């Protein structure tokens, strides 16, 4: 049986925060009406993160008084696929950047081409 890496929720939230800090300031300033949260388990198996909302590239004059977009980073599946805590750190960063990319309107195919 494979060993699951144990990372406390508090530590995992710190890793997500640190990953967000690696995003260039020009991009973080452009992020708008979005909240990033840590959730233990995904709504569907095998998801590591999920972006829900209206990407910046699709917002128009009609976009006002809406609930924030959500980026959820799933702690348990990330810990389950990693062999070491360093792997968790790397996977959290990849997942955070990937989901932030969706906020900017970048689709999965392009994100994978870019290595995210």
Provide the residue count of the chain: 116
Q: What percent of the chain has pLDDT over 90?
A: 78
**Hey, what domains does the chain have and what are their CATH numbers?**
9-54+67-114 (3.30.2010.20)
Q: CA 45, 51, 53: angle at the middle one, nearest 5?
A: 130
Report helix, strand or coil for 98: helix
Distance from the first to the final alpha carbon of the chain: 29
Q: Is pLDDT above 90 for 49?
A: yes
Q: How confident is the model at residue 18 (pLDDT cuts 50, 70, 90)?
A: very high
pLDDT over 60 (residue 1): no
Give the residue from 48, 53, 36 showing the smallest Cα distance to 94: 48
Structure tokens at 86: 């360093």
Would you state the pLDDT for residue 91?
A: 97
Q: Kindly tell me if the per-residue pLDDT of 108 is higher than 60.
A: yes
Query: What is the C-alpha to C-alpha distance for residues 86 and 99, in angstroms, rounded to an integer?
Result: 20
Rounded-to-integer distance, Cα 71 and Cα 34, Å: 7
Confidence of residue 76 (pLDDT cuts 50, 70, 90): very high
pLDDT number for residue 53: 95
Contact 53, 68 (CB under 8 A): yes
């Amino acid at each position: 049986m494979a060993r699951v890496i144990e990372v406390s929720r508090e530590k995992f939230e710190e890793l997500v925060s640190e990953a967000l800090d690696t995003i260039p300031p020009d991009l973080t300033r452009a992020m708008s009406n979005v909240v990033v949260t840590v959730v233990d388990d995904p709504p569907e198996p095998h998801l590591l993160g999920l972006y829900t909302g209206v990407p910046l590239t699709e917002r128009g004059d009609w976009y006002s008084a809406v609930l924030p977009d959500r980026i959820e980073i799933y702690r348990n599946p990330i810990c389950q696929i990693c062999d070491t805590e360093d792997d968790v750190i790397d996977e959290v960063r990849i997942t955070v950047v990937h989901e932030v990319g969706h906020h900017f309107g970048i689709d999965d195919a392009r994100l994978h081409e870019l290595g995210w």
